[in-house]
Copies of this chain bind each other. A is one copy, B any other.
Amino acid sequence: MARLPGRRPGRRPGRQNTRDAILAAARQAFAERGYDGASIRSIATAAGVDPALVHHYFGTKDELFAATVNFPMNPAEFVPRVLAGGAEGAGERLVRAFVSTWDSPVGAAGVALLRSAVSSQLAARLLREFLTTQILRRVTAMLGIDPAEAPLRAALVASQLSGLALMRYVLKVEPLASAPPEVVVAAVAPTVQRYLTGELATGAGGRQDPAG
């Protein structure tokens, strides 16, 4: 068992190794057993360290999960801030916060995250679990969305925002890549708002209006 390191940010041998071992064990655990099924205790055991050390390095289980996927923000702090104003205008606030985060230096981590999730099965499973339990579940709970509809609504929001990231920051398709944030927000916010709170089942004829 490794001991708790001192407060000084020293270059103790093994410190980085311990951190990496915890991250690797956590990655494995979250990908295999999901967020709810992975415990700090089991992660600590797999990494060969004391659970207190996991908390010391990474804080809460949520924070450990965010470090595992290298997510550019902490959803436990970010989501409530964006959605505090309630359902009305939530789409706009969500898109604005998304664009301003990705436009900032932190956005590079987001690009790296998308890259790894698209190229590795383990990273894809991790990101999927992270999106579902850390972000989408929080969003729908805060907005009081019908639980039966919430997962689909949340996945649709993720589809628009991830595709926006892909076009604007990874493939850099113009004019989306260099459009001012306000233009992107005005164009995309109504989509996200509808996915969150609007009607999903109508609008694409052919079902309620059989055989023209």
A binding-site residues for B, Cβ under 8 Å: 89, 91-92, 95, 114-115, 117-119, 124, 127-128, 131-132, 151-152, 155-156, 158-164, 166-168, 170-176, 179, 182-183, 185-191, 193-195, 200-207
Q: Is the CB of A179 within 8 A of B163?
A: no
Indicate how many identical chains form the complex. Answer: 2
Residues in B neighbouring A191, C-beta threshold 8 A: 160, 191, 194
Residues in B neighbouring A160, C-beta threshold 8 A: 159-160, 163, 191
Specify which of B155, B163, B175 is in contact with A159 (CB 8 Å cutoff): B163
A208 to nearest B CB, angstroms? Answer: 10
Q: Is the CB of A119 within 8 A of B128?
A: no
Residues in B neighbouring A162, C-beta threshold 8 A: 163, 166-167
Q: Is the CB of A203 within 8 A of B176?
A: no
Residues in B neighbouring A124, C-beta threshold 8 A: 170-172
User: Which residue on chain B has the smallest CB distance to residue A151?
Assistant: B175
Known contacts A124-B171, A167-B162: A176-B156 contact under CB 8 Å: yes
Residues in B neighbouring A201, C-beta threshold 8 A: 183, 186-187
Task: Known pairs A118-B170, A166-B166, A182-B207; list 6 more (Cβ under 8 Å).
Answer: A92-B206, A151-B175, A155-B173, A182-B206, A185-B204, A187-B204
Residues in B neighbouring A176, C-beta threshold 8 A: 152, 155-156, 159
Known contacts A115-B119, A118-B166: A173-B200 contact under CB 8 Å: no
User: Which residue on chain B has the smallest CB distance to residue A131?
Assistant: B173
